[in-house]
Structure 1
Amino acid sequence: MKMVRLDDTLYKQIVGSMRFLCNSKPDLSYGVGLVSRFMCNPKKSHTLAAKRLLRYVQGTTHYGVFFPVKRQEAELEMVGFADSDYSGDLVEGKSTSEYFN
């Protein structure tokens, strides 16, 4: 059985780009955090997961946190918190969460 060698550099570029997107799309944080764990030795399944996240991004381009260019005096402030996996890391017992202000 022949092992297919994946392009590590391309995988790292995709994951790095998605990590940048997490600033305006906090709903990506959990999935991007998961695929980020395999940056050193990505397998085909990790690449497929990253591609699925890219398809999600493509389908939700009109959602997210948008930062205005100029602040107005009568501006509303939005503060949010999301716990996206409810302490789902069974090994370390940590929760994946996001806070923005």
Structure 2
Amino acid sequence: MVDYKPIDMPMQVNHKLKIVEGATLADKKRYQRLVEKLIYLSHTQPDIAYGVGIVSQFMYKPQENHMKAVMRIVRYLKGALGSGIIFKRNGYLKVEAYTDANWAGNQNDRRSTAGYFTLVGGNLEKVRSRKL
């Protein structure tokens, strides 16, 4: 990925990733290894959590368009070196929580996705998303 230019967003807006009948399949083992590493990395890079959640839905039968989405996340990370979560002592323990939902937004099964994150003392404590 040395020759690739970094990009500013990990996923395209309105990506519409889904399973397409008859599409070219990607290398399943490579796809799974990359996504597993991105899942681990998303704990300290919450900006990629949404994209990683989307591409992890296709682990059992990845197609070329799914692999392109994974490589887009990797290109984003190339440009985001040095960013991530830093925990620091702020002198207060105020708890804040934020949530959002995408109702029936999945193109494959029309299921909803909801997520939230919490901050304790200004530090990210938990990020969670799931299909409903």
TM-score, scaled relative to structure 1: 0.74
Q: Hey, what does 2:13 align to over in structure 1?
A: none
C-alpha distance 24-98 of structure 1, shift in aligned 2 (>3 A): same
* CA distance in structure 1 between the partners assigned to 2:38 and 2:51 by the alignment: 10
Residue of 94, 113, 119 corresponding to 1:94: 113
Q: In the alignment, is the contact (CA less than 8 A) between 1:29 and 1:98 conserved in 2?
A: no
Distance 1:81 1:61, change over 3 A: farther
Tell me, yes or no, if the aligned pair for 2:26 and 2:63 is still in contact at 8 Å. Answer: yes
Task: Tell me by how many angstroms 1:95 deviates.
Answer: 1.3
Taking a change above 3 Å as real, the CA distance of residues 34 and 5 of structure 1, as seen in their structure-2 partners, is closer
- Divergent runs of 4+, >6 A: 77-80
Aligned residue pairs total 92
1:80–1:47 Cα change, 3 Å = farther
Q: Which consecutive residues of structure 1, in runs of 5 or more, have no partner in the other structure?
A: 69-74
Q: TM-score, normalised by structure 2?
A: 0.58
Give 2:90's match in structure 1, choosing from 37, 57, 76: 76
Q: Is the 8 A contact 2:35 2:52 kept in 1?
A: yes
**Equivalent residue for 2:51?**
31
Instruction: Give the direction of change, closer, same or farther, for the CA distance of 1:80–1:15 in structure 2 (3 Å limit).
Output: farther
Alpha-carbon displacement from aligned partner over 1:22-56 (angstroms, at most 9, x marks no partner): 11011111000000000000000000000000000
More helix by share: 1
Long gaps (5+) in structure 2: 1-22, 105-109, 119-123, 126-132
- Give secondary structure in 1 for the equivalent of 2:50: helix
Aligned AA (1:60): A
Cα distance in 2 for partners of 1:26, 1:82 equals 14
Higher strand share: 2
- Percent identical pairs in the alignment equals 26
